[in-house]
DNA sequence: CTCTGGCACTCCGGCCCCGCGAGTGCTAAG
DNA sequence: CTTAGCACTCGCGGGGCCGGAGTGCCAGAG
């Protein structure tokens, strides 16, 4: 097998590919052989570089938008660039400092903290940023309460140890008195304290037999309430900031694709899908262009990471931007923010 | 004063202005005198129409993007069109039916219902839609609870009669036991039931003297928690759907303005400002282009309305779109959705 | 076998020019 | 007051032209 078609690139080709990616990310314009030798001290002539570029094009790492234009990285080119990137990429000091500053101030309101984290990530990277709240279903119940509402309804509230409040409205029969609700709350608390939210429905249903005649129906109602929205995991809260960056500059060529990307960002399901492998893979995961499962996202790259305390991942966060992005800085920023966020939550004892 | 400069337009000019607006909204292209006489049965010649158009241009109702092009309505032109619009504009049957269908299904989860309402409004109008949740501060407290959390924190939860749950984290001194929190919850409930959230802080502070030594500090902490986020009214929850419509088609000419509009939609403060007069004015309010207080919105129109039960407005909703929009349909849709939403909330006993 | 200088070639983008057509404003007559 | 006619303006799209950037290939040097 001749070296040209070997999947492993020669060192020089890799060097040239990296130079092409760097330069294209910076300028947004197709990169020619001449600027490469001039700006990147390759020590060879443009002609040689051209030969190598032809090989890189054969390998699918770069392409020409039209004959006699410079080269642009393909998704595979970016992929190689990202995979071969030196691990310990460090953020510029100013940005690292901003992140530290941000997490130094105490933030007690979880939801607001997560929203602000999304805003921070967006402004660090200049891309749209999204932060998913800690998954509710694995959180442990700290306290539950049934509160009567007008209109024959009651509200079932569950406070988790992550500091989130999950609430559902249930319809209660007319003959239920407020005192019954209080009694039921007390009983539910005994049963549910320390139970994971995802197990709550089953637990309550199991114990419904053991409680007094008057409380049993309320237990069943509560079980329904816990069950209902659990199956739609899409129910998770998330915080999206910096959508307007999607429109930025010239990075997305046509309006229609911008429209579709922004539309996609509004759908929890898609976003969840997109950030899904941050969970499974661990560490910072990068999806480049067509690597994205969602049709609408195939012009974007997604950089995502889980965050959590110690081993367990609580949630995930990430950014969505054009394939032409500064992966080093973006990855570093996502990494840094996710680990700081994890530490902050740990500090809250979550 | 010659009639040409009279602010009140002659009937014929008004007719022509309405025709121009209708046609321009439909086609997006400058309207000439010829198509006007052909399509709108004006019964006069193009030359006459041209004279009238010149007068309308003097009056500031229309303008030419360049010499020898048709006319386009100015903000003032749209304004006149909207003001003189027949009141009882009715939605097409299909859309009215969609709205009724939507509100027929019971929706118990308030937040989810509001989000879906925003989505409905967006898809009815093809514009970005926003729904503000009922203002918390005027809601009456139904139940409060102090729940211990890890990390020396506790969560103060307030359930209002609108079915919303307001929660704040407070830091508690080390020496506070869980039983103190339970006792404090009970005492707070006695004091706060039926009190408006905006009065909660003052009420708790006043009564702090009357409770036992051990509970007083907790009362003060609770008062702080109620007070804190109250001053930032911007804390209100809102639901934004259909942002991608902003990018739609050709309505906004340059990308930079699209960017700014989308950016503006992310800021609660701006949105609140924009929907503010829906509250003060009552009924459907329309802000056209430069009538908007916010710089970023001066290329948009905002159609907003309060919603509520009976007399009192609970919240507001509206849409943001290009000045070139179908005001009749949009206004009708906003009106219809807001009144149905109000009825739905009334049905919940709010 | 690899590298390099040279060269012919391609193609995009900007430019000018031109002609078409839509739409106007004016004028003079009904 | 209305209208027909007319000359005028201007944006837009198409065609042709040119310059420049960048390429691929080839032949010769190392």
Summarize pLDDT for B200-239 with one digit per residue, the tens. Answer: 889 999 988 888 888 888 999 999 888 866 445 546 789 9
pLDDT of A5 above 50: no
Radius of gyration of chain B (CA): 26
* pLDDT for position A2: 42
* pLDDT for position A163: 73
C-alpha triplet A181, A184, A185: angle, nearest 5°: 85
Chunked in runs of 10, what are the mean pLDDT values of chain B (350 residues)? 55 95 94 94 93 95 92 97 85 94 86 93 97 84 84 83 79 84 90 89 88 86 79 70 84 76 89 82 90 89 91 89 95 96 82
Q: How far is A244 from chain B (nearest CA, A)?
A: 5
pLDDT of A62 above 50: yes
Contacts of A222-225 with C-beta under 8 Å, sequence gap 24+, read A222/A144, A222/A146, A222/A156, A222/A170, A222/A184, A222/A188, A224/A170, A225/A156, A225/A168, A225/A169, A225/A170
Residues 153-212, chain A, touching B (beta carbon < 8 A): 153, 155, 157, 159, 161, 163, 165, 167-171
- Residue from A305, A311, A313, A309 nearest A330 by CA: A305
C-alpha dihedral sign at A147, A151, A152, A156: negative
Contact A127, A242 (CB under 8 A): yes
A14 near B CB under 8 A: no
For A219-271, write each residue's pLDDT tens digit.
998 998 888 664 455 467 899 999 999 987 656 667 778 888 999 998 888 88
DSSP assignment, residue B71? B
**H or E element: which one contains B269?**
helix B268-281
Dihedral of CA atoms B321, B324, B325, B326 in degrees, nearest 10, equals 170
Cβ contact A165–B171 (<8 Å): no
If phi > 0 it is left, if psi is from -120 to 50 it is alpha, else beta; for residue B211 that is: beta
**H or E element: which one contains B210?**
none
As to burial, measured by CB atoms within 10 angstroms (0-12 exposed, 13-18 middle, 19+ buried), residue A173 is: exposed
- Residue from A171, A225, A150 nearest B345 by CA: A150
**A108 to chain B: nearest residue by CA?**
B169
**Which DSSP string do the residues of B89-100 spell out, in sequence order?**
----HHHHHHHH
pLDDT of A3 above 60: no
If phi > 0 it is left, if psi is from -120 to 50 it is alpha, else beta; for residue B64 that is: beta
Q: How far is B81 from chain A (nearest CA, A)?
A: 30
- Residue found under tokens 């809102």: B238
| Selected residue with higher pLDDT from A3 and B285 | B285
All residues of chain B having their beta carbon less than 8 Å from the beta carbon of residue A247 are: 247, 255, 258-259, 262
For A94-121, write each residue's pLDDT tens digit.
999 999 999 998 777 788 899 999 999 9
Which pLDDT band holds residue A40 (cuts at 50, 70, 90)?
very high
Using DSSP's 3-state secondary structure scheme, residue B176 falls into coil
Cβ contact B247–A247 (<8 Å): yes
Which two three-digit tokens encode residue A133?
């709240």
C-alpha dihedral sign at B325, B278, B86, B58: negative
For B94-113, write each residue's pLDDT tens digit.
999 999 999 998 777 788 89
Does the CB of B41 sit below 7 A from strand D?
Answer: no
Q: What percent of chain A has pLDDT over 70?
A: 93
CB-defined contacts A:B, below 8 A = 116
- Distance CA(B248)–CA(B259), nearest Å, equals 13
- Distance CA(B189)–CA(B157), nearest Å, equals 11
Provide the positions of strand D that have an atom within 7 A of a protein CB. Answer: 2-5, 8-11, 20-26
Q: Report the first-to-last Cα separation within chain B, whole angstroms.
A: 55
All residues of chain B having their beta carbon less than 8 Å from the beta carbon of residue A254 are: none
Using DSSP's 3-state secondary structure scheme, residue B265 falls into helix
What angle, 0 to 180 degrees and rounded to 10, lies between the N-to-C axes of helices B46-58 and B33-40? 110
Q: Any idea which nucleotide's C1' is nearest the CA of A46?
A: C4
A35 near B CB under 8 A: no
Contact A221, A172 (CB under 8 A): yes
Q: How far is B21 from chain A (nearest CA, A)?
A: 26
Q: Any idea which nucleotide's C1' is nearest the CA of B31?
A: C23
Contact B198, B147 (CB under 8 A): no
Cβ contact A108–B171 (<8 Å): yes
* pLDDT for position B316: 93
* pLDDT for position B174: 81
For B263-281, write each residue's pLDDT tens digit.
999 888 888 888 877 878 8
Which two three-digit tokens encode residue A213?
């005649």
Distance B123 CA to C14 C1' (A): 43
Length of chain A: 350
């Amino acid at each position: 097998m001749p070296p040209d078609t070997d999947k492993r690139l020669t060192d020089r080709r890799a060097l040239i590919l990296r130079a092409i990616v760097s330069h294209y990310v910076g300028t947004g314009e197709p990169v020619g052989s001449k600027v490469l030798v001039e700006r990147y001290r390759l020590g060879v002539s443009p002609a040689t570089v051209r030969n190598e570029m032809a090989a890189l094009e054969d390998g699918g790492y770069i392409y020409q938008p039209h004959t006699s234009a410079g080269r642009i990285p393909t998704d595979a080119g970016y992929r190689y660039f990202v995979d071969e990137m030196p691990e310990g990429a460090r953020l510029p000091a100013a940005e690292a400092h901003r992140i530290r500053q941000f997490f130094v101030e105490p933030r007690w309101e979880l939801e607001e903290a997560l929203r602000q984290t999304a805003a921070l990530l967006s402004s660090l990277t200049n891309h749209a940023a999204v932060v998913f709240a800690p998954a509710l279903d694995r959180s442990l119940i700290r306290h539950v309460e049934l509160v009567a509402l007008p209109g024959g309804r009651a509200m079932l509230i569950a406070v988790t140890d992550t500091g989130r409040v999950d609430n559902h409205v249930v319809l209660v029969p007319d003959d239920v008195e407020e005192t019954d609700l209080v009694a039921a709350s007390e009983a539910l608390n005994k049963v549910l304290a320390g139970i994971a939210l995802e197990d709550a429905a089953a637990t309550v249903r199991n114990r419904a037999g053991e409680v007094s005649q008057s409380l049993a129906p309320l237990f069943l109602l509560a079980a329904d309430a816990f069950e209902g929205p659990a199956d739609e995991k899409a129910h998770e809260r998330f915080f999206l900031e910096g959508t307007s960056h999607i429109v930025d500059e010239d990075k997305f060529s046509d309006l229609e694709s911008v429209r579709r990307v922004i539309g996609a960002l509004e759908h929890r399901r898609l976003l969840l899908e997109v950030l899904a492998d941050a969970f499974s893979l661990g560490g910072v995961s990068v999806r480049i262009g067509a690597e994205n499962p969602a049709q609408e996202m195939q012009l974007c790259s997604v950089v995502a990471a889980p965050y959590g305390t110690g081993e367990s991942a609580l949630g995930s966060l990430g950014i969505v931007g054009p394939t032409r992005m500064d992966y080093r800085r973006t990855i570093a920023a996502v990494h840094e923010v996710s680990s700081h966020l994890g530490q902050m939550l740990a500090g809250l004892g979550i």
